[in-house]
Structure 1
Amino acid sequence: MKVRASVKKMCDKCRVIRRHGRAAEPCPRPTAGHLPTLPSPVWAPLLNRTFFSVARIAGVDIPRDKRIEIALTYVYGIGLTTAKKILSKTGVNPDTRVKDLDDADVQKLRGAAESYTLEGDLRRQEGMALKRLQDIGCVRGRRHRAGLPVRGQRTRTNARTRRGARKTVAGKKK
């Protein structure tokens, strides 16, 4: 059984001894989901609370420790303005942390986000628009294809982001 170099221990009861990148003594129950042995007062508040493991909106795991207003912007197609609109429509407080949301709030947010074009559909839509510009052969399409600035910026100097790193040209002899 091959084990990552960072793995030294699987749980408090089972140890993995590593020799030459291989596990010499694998954990007898790797799928048992061993929990570290902690005193019960530490676990008591967690056992009484109902929470979800990961909030997924439009197929994206949003970060648990951020405010919901910021966490929604991790979804491609939702910026800060759209996130505020979604939160006002659903009635969720923007200052609430994602880990403090209950399942009903997450369901409301998912429903509100479905009314927007997000993630894969939006990427596909943008790609099709660029492909159409290139197919009809307009100036914008040609500039996209050549990797040059599209909106009329100068290229004699600057435009390094679009043009990439400088290519050295041999100087002429005198």
Structure 2
Amino acid sequence: MSTQEYRHIVRIVGNDIPGERKMLVGLTQIKGIGYNFATAILDTLKIDTNSNIGNLTEENVQAIEKLITDPIGGNFPTWFLNRRKDIETGADLHLLTSDIPFTLRNDIERERITASWRGYRHLSGLKVRGQRTRTSGRKGGAVGVAKGGMAAPVKKGSAGAPAAEAAAPAAEAAAPAAEAAAPAEKKE
């Protein structure tokens, strides 16, 4: 690239990227930039994709940041962006870093408030995009099935055996109490 000194950490759009990473891999560490977007940025700026990111000059870093923050200004097509026709502004945007989960949470909350079908599905934790739920997408514990522990053993015999067994321990518990009361009467 140039005679500039090698940097061990390069800061691009608020992310620290190790200098030993290749250009493509280093740019994809920024949330919101995938492999194809990173390739398009490097091709537009005519930067070698196989060189290490630590060899970038300060001018190259600024040019990359400018393209990342304003891809429409760099003549990227709108279908390349990750948020087209934003609901609030109507503009085509490319979201980065912490803006992605923040916007996603806002979208889901808006759907819940408007009580749309998608909002109900998000609220219930079910599939939203029309997938089947009969066999797939199961999460959580089993419903209607007792897990763990063993069931009480049933002895072989007549159909009324469990009821008789339940009555027998009650009779055995009453017998010692009767025996304890009986000797007290004999002493008098």
Give TM class, smaller chain: 0.5 to 0.7
Partner of 1:66: 21
Which whole-Å CA distance do the structure 2 matches of 1:117 and 1:151 have between them?
Answer: 22
Runs (5+) with no aligned partner, structure 2: 71-93, 152-188
Off by >6 Å, runs of 4+ in structure 1: none
Larger-Rg structure: 2
Q: How does 1:77-88 map to 2 (within 5 A)?
A: 77-88=32-43
Distance in 1 separating the partners of 2:21 and 2:142: 43
Which of 152, 156, 173 aligns to 2:130? It is 152
Percent identity of paired positions between Structure 1 and Structure 2: 29
For structure 1, the residue ranges without an aligned partner over 5 or more in a row are 1-47
Partner amino acid, structure 1, of 2:121: R
1:141 corresponding residue in structure 2: 119
Displacement of 1:136: 0.8
Aligned 8 A contact 1:52 1:102 in 2: no
User: TM-score with structure 2 length normalisation?
Assistant: 0.57
SS in 2 for 1:109: helix
The one-letter code sitting in structure 1 at the alignment partner of 2:111 is: L
Of 167, 170, 173 in structure 1, the residue corresponding to residue 142 of structure 2 is 167
Instruction: Tell me how many residue pairs correspond in the alignment.
Output: 122
Bigger drift between 106-115 and 121-130 goes to 121-130
What are the equivalent positions in structure 2 for 1:1-174 lying under 5 Å apart?
50-115=5-70, 116-160=94-138, 164-167=139-142, 169-170=144-145
SS in 2 for 1:82: helix
SS of structure 1 residue aligned to 2:98: helix
Instruction: Report the aligned-residue RMSD.
Output: 2.3
* C-alpha distance in structure 2 between counterparts of 1:61 and 1:76, whole Å: 12
Out of 51-60 and 131-140, give the one that drifted further. Answer: 51-60
What is the CA–CA distance in structure 2 between the aligned matches of 1:75 and 1:109, rounded to whole Å?
A: 12
Partner SS for 2:16: strand
The structure carrying a bigger helix percent of its residues is 2
CA distance in 1, matches of 2:20, 2:123: 41
TM-score for the superposition, normalised by structure 1: 0.61
Contact 2:22 2:53 in 1 (8 A): yes
